Amino acid sequence: MGGGSALDSASAKPAKFIGEDRSMPASEESREASTDSTTTNDPSLAWTREDFNISADGKTIGGRKDVHYPDTGQTVNEYVDGLSEKGKEKLKKNHHIVIPEGIEVIHECAFTGHAKQVGNKQHEHIDGETYIEGVTLPQSLKIIEYGAFGWNKIKGTVTIPKNVISIHSAAFVANEIEKVVFEGVLDGKGKEHDTDADPYYLAGVGEKAFQGNKISEIVVKDNLGKYKLYPSNNPQKSDSVFDNQNPGPFTIEVGEEYKRPITITQENGNYSIGVVEGFKENGNPVQIENSSYFKKNNDGKYVAVKTGKLEGQCLFYDMLNNNFRVLGVSHFTYNIIPKSKIYTVTFVNGTDQNYAKVQVKENKSIKDKSVAGQVMPDNPSKAGYTFRGWSADKTGKDKTKEFSAATQVTGDMTVYAIYTPTPAVLNAVPTLIVQDKTITEGDPLDLRSLIVSATDKEDGDLKNKVQITNNGGFDNSKVGSYVITFSVTDNGGATATASATVTVTKKPTPPTPPELEPEVESEPESVPATSQPEQPEQPEQQQAERVVKHLPKTGSTTTPVLASAIASLFAGLVELVAALKYLRKN
Contacts of 416 (CB under 8 A, 6+ apart): 348, 349, 390, 391, 392, 393, 394, 396
Give the residue-averaged pLDDT of 420-449: 92
pLDDT tens-digit map of 207-247: 999 999 999 999 999 999 999 998 766 666 778 999 889 99
Number of Cβ within a 10 Å radius of residue 106: 27
Q: What integer pLDDT is reported at residue 526 of this predicted model?
A: 53
- What's the mean pLDDT when you consider all of the chain? 84
Sign of the alpha-carbon dihedral angle for 490, 495, 501, 502:
positive
pLDDT band at 427 (very low <50, low <70, confident <90, very high): confident
Q: What integer pLDDT is reported at residue 27 of this predicted model?
A: 39
pLDDT tens-digit map of 331-379: 999 999 999 999 999 999 999 999 999 999 999 999 999 999 999 999 9
Domain boundaries along the sequence of the chain: 1-184, 342-421, 431-505
Residue 541 scores a pLDDT above 80: no
pLDDT tens-digit map of 238-268: 789 998 899 989 999 999 999 999 999 999 8
Residue 180 scores a pLDDT above 50: yes
Residue 77 scores a pLDDT above 80: yes
Q: What integer pLDDT is reported at residue 25 of this predicted model?
A: 35
The answer to whether 391 touches 457, Cβ cutoff 8 Å, is no
Phi-psi bin for 128: left (phi > 0), alpha (psi -120 to 50), beta?
Answer: left
Q: What is the rounded distance in angstroms from the CA atom of residue 511 to the CA atom of residue 513?
A: 6
Number of Cβ within a 10 Å radius of residue 4: 19
Helix (H) or strand (E) run with residue 318 in it: strand 308-320
Q: What is the rounded distance in angstroms from the CA atom of residue 133 to the CA atom of residue 43?
A: 19
Sign of the alpha-carbon dihedral angle for 219, 224, 230, 234:
positive
pLDDT tens-digit map of 90-122: 999 999 999 999 999 999 999 999 887 655 456
pLDDT band at 125 (very low <50, low <70, confident <90, very high): confident
Per the DSSP assignment, residues forming a β-bridge with 195 are: none
pTM, whole model, 2 decimals? 0.61
Exposure of 352 in the CB half-sphere (CA atoms within 13 A): 11
What's the Cα-to-Cα distance from 141 to each of 46, 53, 192, 224, 480, rounded to whole Å? 19, 16, 10, 21, 85
Contacts of 87 (CB under 8 A, 6+ apart): 47, 50, 51, 52, 97
For the ranges 70-74, 201-205, 300-304, the lowest mean pLDDT is seen at 70-74
Q: What angle do CA 432, 435, 438 make, to 5 degrees?
A: 160
Q: Assess whether the region 342-421 and the region 431-505 belong to the same CATH fold.
A: yes
Q: Structurally, what CATH architecture does the domain formed by 342-421 represent?
A: Sandwich (2.60)
Q: What integer pLDDT is reported at residue 17 of this predicted model?
A: 31
Class of domain 431-505: mainly beta
DSSP 270-295: TS--EEEEEEEETTEEEEGGG-SSEE
DSSP 480-528: EEEEEEEEEE-TTS-EEEEEEEEEEEPPPPPPPPPPPPPP-PPPPPP--
